[in-house]
Each structure stands twice: as C-alpha cells, then as structure tokens.
Amino acid sequence: MRPRLASLLTAAVLALLPGTARADATYPDPQPLTGEQIIHDPTVIRLESGGYVAYSTGGIIGARTSEDRTHWDDAGNAFTTPPSWWYAYNDTGDPWAPDLSYRAGRYWLYYAVSSWGTNHSAIGVATSPTGLPGTWTDHGKVFGSERTDSWNAIDPAVIRADGRLWMSFGSYWTGIRMVELDPRTGKAVEGATVHHLATRPDAPYAVEGPYIVEHGGRYYLFASYDTCCAGADSTYRIRVGRSTSVTGPYVDSTGEPLLEGGGDLLLAGHGRYVGTGGESIFKDRGRDVLAYHYYDAEDGGTPKLGLNTLTWTKNGWPDLLRGRGRP
C-alpha cells in the first residue's frame, strides 16, 4: 500500500474512534502565537511606527502589543481610569468590544458601554497620536440606544466609503445597524438615519459584532452569529454577505439577504478552537488579516486571540488561508 493512501486510511479510522481528536478539514487553525494570548473581541492594527497593538474587552479596554504579530505582551489598558460618563451605563465602568482605526493623522478608538441583557447602551470614541495604551483622550458619546429602541448601540466598527464615514454596530435587538459619522468629530451626524443591515428571522436575533471591509468595489459585512461568552459551550461563528453599497442591502453567495437570515459561513468552531467570533479585519503588508477570539477547549474555555490571513476567491468572496503559518 502506498504511504499516502495508508496515511489517509489511518486518519479515517482514527476519526471514527470515540474520543479521538482530529484536525478539521474545513476550517484552518489560527496562526500559532506565543506570550499573552488571552483576549476577547480583539481589534488589531499595524502601527505607523511599526509593530502591532490589539485592544479588547476586559480591563479598561485591555491592550496587547507585538513586534512580529506572533509574540504578544500584556500592555495594560487603553485608559488609566474610566471616564465618568461611562457609569451612566453600568456600575463598573466596564467597556466592551473596541474598534481601532487610523485617519487624519490620529488613531481612533471606538468602544461600547452597557450592561448584560439591556440595550441601554452607548458608543464612545477616543483619539491618540500613537495608538498606544495610556495616550488616549476620550471625547465622549458617539451614539446611543435606549430600552424603547429596536437596536443595541454596542460593537462599533468604522469604515470610510465614498468620501463619507460610517459606523456599523449592533447586538441582538433585531441585529446589525449603521449610522453616518461626522469625520471631524467622529460622532454620529445629527438626525442620522439608522440603516438596517442584517438580522435573524426569529427572536432573540442572535447576530452581533459587525465589521465591514471594501474589496473589489464591493462592501463585505462580517458578523458573529449565535452564542458568545459561554466558554467551551459557546457557539459563535462568523458569517459574511456583500453589497455594492455600504448601507446595503447585503446578500450571501446564494442571493439570500442578510436581513432575512442569510450569510455565508466563513469560520466556525473546530477541535480545540470553540466559539470563533468577535471579529475584526486589519491590513498587514498589503494582506487582509482576520482577528477574532476563540475559547480554548483544552484550556478550560479561556478566550484567546485567533489570527488568520484572509484571501479572496475569483468570485470575490472571502476565504481563509489554509495552513498554520503566516504567509
């Protein structure tokens, strides 16, 4: 028997044995990392000065830094103390799900303040000349939601499109929304229309954490579906749709609208990498990189940083680079 055939047959037999772990053939594992890997809802950027910084839910927006995108160090928090206005939305001054970008010579950090299970929520913004922790100046509330609204103002993500600035956001409460921002202040324009981008057919409309990128003249909406924050029991997965307009409508590769529950599955849990979601995308040397968290089933469900290079098919749909190493 040829060695390759023997190897395939052995793998097939092992896959049928109870309790036997096997690599998933559909989804690639994240890039191997070292150092401080614990993170939740990561946003990552390659700094103008070189190196990388990642911010996340936890602490007063937890920070990680890296020189090579492989080894990560704990860098404390974005802020030394919570801005006082945060306490109107929770008792702990605890921010969630930041979004980091660079424009007009400054770094912009968007984040959410809320409490579990309520849409009494707000999105805030801060700026920094370097993007590093401890250098942020907070500028207050960008946009909010109340219990009478049908949306939840958390999980912000900002994109420039057609000379205008937009922010997608949303979690449950009928799904993903978008408003236009004033590029000078970084805050929602007065009386901004709240566009509806994606939802699920039935309550509780479990879709959140949007992120939009432009590629090949189209806009791609990535979002996290199903259950977050349950450790190894989490069912988070990343789906995607696209549109010729940043405000939608978004559809998947079969033409099903994301407003009707559509969305191509890009990444789901596999092996030890459970509940993949909380995603964002950043540019690194001309390549798109998907950042997300997963819950490590071999480490008590601890949330950790996942990074995969994002590729694009001939039909213009996103895919993930196979193989564990960096390109």
Confidence of residue 321 (pLDDT cuts 50, 70, 90): confident
Determine the Cα–Cα distance for residues 16 and 244; give it in Å rounded to an integer.
45
CA angle (119, 125, 129) in 5-degree steps: 160
pLDDT value at 15 more than 70? no
- The verdict on whether omega for the bond into residue 327 sits within 30 degrees of 0, i.e. cis, is no
How far is residue 79 from each of residues 84, 128, 173, 191, 290, measured CA to CA in Å?
12, 11, 29, 30, 25
Q: What is the pLDDT of residues 174-187, one digit of tens each?
A: 999 999 999 999 99
As a whole number, mean pLDDT of residues 313-322 equals 92
Question: 3-class secondary structure for 56-109?
Answer: ECCCCCEEEEECCCCEEEEEEECCCCCCHHHHHCCCCCCEEEEEEEEECCEEEE
Contact 279, 224 (CB under 8 A): yes
Query: Which one of 41, 94, 180, 279 is the catalytic residue?
Result: 41
Share of the chain above pLDDT 90, in %: 89
How far is the CA of 58 from the CAs of 55, 62, 63, 122, in angstroms? 9, 5, 9, 17
Confirm whether 256 is a catalytic residue: no
CATH number of the 38-320 domain: 2.115.10.20
> 76-101 pLDDT, tens per residue?
999 999 999 999 999 999 999 999 99
Q: Check: CB of residue 39 under 8 Å from CB of residue 305.
A: yes
Read off the tokens for 143: 């946009």
Could you tell me if 111 and 96 are in contact, meaning their C-beta atoms sit under 8 angstroms apart?
Answer: yes
pLDDT at position 322, please? Answer: 67
Domain range annotation of the chain = 38-320
Catalytic residue among 94, 138, 155, 208: 208
Provide the percentage of residues in the chain whose pLDDT is more than 70.
91
What digits encode the pLDDT tens for the residues 250-279? Answer: 999 999 999 999 999 999 999 999 999 999
pLDDT of residue 160: 97
Residue 17 scores a pLDDT above 60: no
Mean pLDDT of the chain: 91
Mean pLDDT in residue range 32-46: 98
Q: Which helix (H) or strand (E) holds 16?
A: helix 3-16
The DSSP call for residue 162 is T
* Strand pairing class (137-145; 121-128): antiparallel
Q: What tokens were used for 186?
A: 């970084």
Q: How far is CA 22 from CA 45, 106, 270, 285, in A?
A: 33, 45, 9, 33
pLDDT exceeds 80 at position 292: yes
Flag whether the pTM goes above 0.85: yes
> Where residue 26 falls among pLDDT bands split at 50, 70, 90?
confident
- Strand partners for 62: 56, 77
Q: Is 41 marked active-site? A: yes
